[in-house]
A and B are shown apart, each in its own frame.
Chain A
Amino acid sequence: MPPTPDKEIAATFKLLLIGDSGTGKSSLLLRFTDDTWLHPDEVSATIGVDFKVKVVDIDESKYKLTIWDTAGQERFRTLTSSYYRGAQGVILVYDVSSRATFEHLNLWFNELDTYSSSQEVIKMIVGNKVDKESSGSREVSRKEGEAFARKMGTLFIEASAKTKTGVKDAFIEVVRKIIETPSLWQKQQNKTPGTIHMNDDEAPQGGCAC
């Protein structure tokens, strides 16, 4: 895609996905960024998805989102601390057809408390795979999900990466909340001078010292 010129971007946000393996984090991400969905048989556990970039328009401003996937490191809770660092929004995903994944959200909140760089980080709980309702395999009711989110003081939505229900809304709502909380991101937008990033490798070449 022709990159949007940076001057048109109002801000860049880092969003994360966390939650148990198999809750469909990658599917949610792919649905949101590429509008694709792969059948579970076709996707092996997350391979090759590091993060995705998407530019969204909200209230006539452009925001660049870098959305990070777990790369399978959630399976044994070995996510790296740099994964959490600098995130403004976190999407905690459970599978409405698996009670265990809902109950494990507590562990993920713990992990988030331990590693996230700001207490203010915006959290959204997503109950994924609501499409399974029709086959009668729902194990966590919408009410329960809502109640838990209220208790934890987070946003909540039910979604299905398969049928698209709620996916865009989940991401956009997080971004809106971030925009409403300038203290979360305004400082970080002006990176401390002197920080070197490898991506902008072609820094001024001062030539040889001698």
Chain B
Amino acid sequence: MEELKTHYDYIILGTGIQESILASALARNNKTVLHIDGNQFYGGNECSFNFSEFLEWIMNVQKNDNKAKQSTTTNDINKFYDSYHDIDIKILSGYDIPDNEPEITNRFALQNNKIAEEFLKQTQTSVEKDKLALLKDLIKDNRQFYISLLPKMAYSRGPFIDLLIKADLGNYLEFRSMEKTYIYNNDVFENVPCTKEDVFNSKQIKVIEKRKLMKFLTFVMNYRLEKESYEEYKDKPYSEYIKTYKLNPELQQVILQAINDSEEGLEDATTEEGLASTYRYLKSLGKWGNSPLICPLYGGGSEISQAFCRSCAVYGGVYMLDQKINSLEFKNNQYHLDCELKFTGDHLISSIDYLQDQSNIEITDYHKAIIITDKPLKKNIDISIYIIPPNTINNNKNRIMLIQQGYQANCCPKSKYIIYICTKATDTSKEEIKNVIQQLFEDKNDISEKNKLDEMEGENNENIKKDEEANDNNNKNDDDDDDDDEEEEEEEEEEEASKPKAYISVIFKQSIRKQKSLETKLDKTTLTIIDDMLPGISMETPVENALSIFRQLHPEIEEIYSKPQEEEEEKEEKQEEGQKEQEEQITNENEAVEEQTQ
């Protein structure tokens, strides 16, 4: 077995998306890379968890938060848990307790049930039977859950997709179109029109408004060619510029709040920033389905990290996870890293999680929630985005964004959904998130399964009666169609009336950290610190960041993912050999196979 190298061109700490893109790019250009993570999992702050890991993460955040309050310091360099605070857990009450639990022998299931119990002990005042039953039910499908700490999607046209194709990572990742975006208006979520079809089909928009909106959208698609038409508004608020199109307030909200990928909407953006943002959104329409965004399956961020890490490994990168970093020093022009083994490196690229001196960083806090429900927010819609503009639910100050992912995103078992809520932290943002949860979800399951069954039977009886009545009516009135329509409407109303149940809702604060300046104790020419990713929906900014860092490190490399010559030659060779290979018949050797295998 080949000896492991101890010296590398680059030591990279943290396997977040940006670090992983850099790792892949460096390895592809023949740099030796040692890629380390202090956590057991890939993805850093972009990681995703199955259900039991999610419970463990919550417990760890709570423990870490308590520790911080008592100001006990740890000697581990990894500060992963320090960016999560103030975690609140609510579990649906009144869940039906099964009369007799089936005996469990599977070792994973036993372990998971233990975690569920431990979780209740730590986070609740007492272990209530209904809550334990609920958690055990969810944890049964443990591995079908992919719960992300930073859910992300990607524009179908943009630097992220370009990079995936250039880096040839198509084999590692799968995506699905985001289905719909909604905006909260007059106490309901309304569909956001953005394509021609949407605009034309919309019942909410009047014809005259449709024309104005089309005029605006058409302009944005070509705005860079018509600079003079917005020149005087360039540095003025986008909201003012939009007013010149005389759109109604609802449509203005749609443009400022919903059809962009910024963290906080475009309320405070300049016209130039705003147009660029709207353009990025519109440009991606029509490539895959009726939406500009595609959602990576199996939890997103972590999958994307892993794809880039694998591509780094294919080109020789060495991977170590779950590393306790004992020390990291810069001496004699080299970084000396002491973890499971000892290594040296010429350059260090470090996620901000591993920055020893945390005094020089700027923090922006976001309040977030993760909710697991039994139903989607909109009937028959899976992957979707919901925007709550300021002042729409109990006078919320900031824009609140919800992302829903379910079975279609391979993030949940069937008929479960994950809803992520995010808003910029203010002194009221936590309350605002609580209000949103209260408004949109049910937190009790008052009717036990048995009562429900009884009720259903009752309903059935009633339905039979109704049917009979309906038949009677039909006999009197021959217009069947009307009757059917009415029934359908009734059904829909019923659906709308019962809110999704929040099986578990977790509210927390996340600090997004950024360095103020590059000056640190370590030599700055060989040190690169990677800032946290912002919680905006798309992948474009982090990709651009990573690529611009790469260009700073290696301005001499023009094409990061140019195909190595050897590979090209190999391909040609293969083409020649192909014919022979195809003719190879393996069937003849079947007898031999049967003999040798058992």
Contacts and interface: CB of A to CB of B under 8 A. Distances in A.
Contacts of B593: 168-169, 172-173, 176
A82 B313 CA distance: 14
A182 interface: no
A176 B591 CA distance: 13
Contacts of B169: 198
A199 B577 contact: no
Interface in A1-60: 1-2, 4, 21-22, 44-45, 47-51, 54-60
Contact of A203 (B174, B288, B313, B590): B288
Interface stretch (B343-351, B516-524, B525-533, B578-586): B578-586
Q: Interface range on chain A: under 10, 10 to 19, 20 to 34, or 35 or more?
A: 35 or more
Nearest to A51: B171
Given A58-B586, A206-B287, A76 B596 contact: no
A44 B5 CA distance: 11
B145 to A, nearest CB: 13
A73 B315 CA distance: 11
Interface in A194-210: 194-199, 201, 203, 205-210
A208 B582 contact: no
Contact of A168 (B196, B214, B586): B586
B586 A209 contact: no
B77 interface: no
A1 B584 CA distance: 13
Most buried by A among B220, B285, B319: B319
B471 to A, nearest CB: 39
Contact of A57 (B196, B578, B579, B587): B587
B592 interface: yes
B218 interface: yes
Contacts, number: 168
A166 interface: yes
A206 B340 CA distance: 52
Contact of A199 (B171, B221, B289, B585): B171
Interface residues of B, number: 70
Contacts of B306: 80-82
B171 A113 contact: no
A2 B2 contact: no
B318 to A, nearest CB: 7
Interface string A92-136: 000000000000000000000110000000001000000000000
A148 interface: no
A78 B2 contact: no
B188 interface: no
Nearest to B310: A80
Contact of B582 (A4, A47, A78, A203): A4
A71 interface: yes
A59 B575 CA distance: 26
Contacts of A156: 597-598
A73 B35 CA distance: 11
Contact of B285 (A76, A199, A208): A208
A209 B596 contact: no
Nearest to B283: A208
Contacts of B170: 197-199, 201
A89 B288 CA distance: 32
A55 B217 CA distance: 49
A210 B196 contact: yes
B298 interface: yes
A81 B305 CA distance: 11
Interface string B179-197: 0000000000000001110
A146 B598 contact: yes
B441 interface: no
Interface string B487-503: 00000000000000000
B376 to A, nearest CB: 16
Interface of B: 1-2, 4, 42, 108, 161, 164-165, 169-177, 194-196, 214, 217-218, 220-221, 282-283, 285-289, 294, 297-298, 303, 306-307, 309-311, 313-321, 340, 408, 574-575, 577-579, 581-582, 584-587, 589-590, 592-593, 596-598
Instruction: Give the 3 A-B residue pairs with the shortest CB-CB distance, closest first.
Output: A1-B578, A22-B1, A206-B286
16 contacts: A2-B575, A47-B314, A58-B586, A72-B317, A75-B319, A76-B319, A80-B309, A82-B173, A82-B298, A155-B597, A169-B596, A198-B173, A207-B286, A209-B195, A209-B217, A210-B214
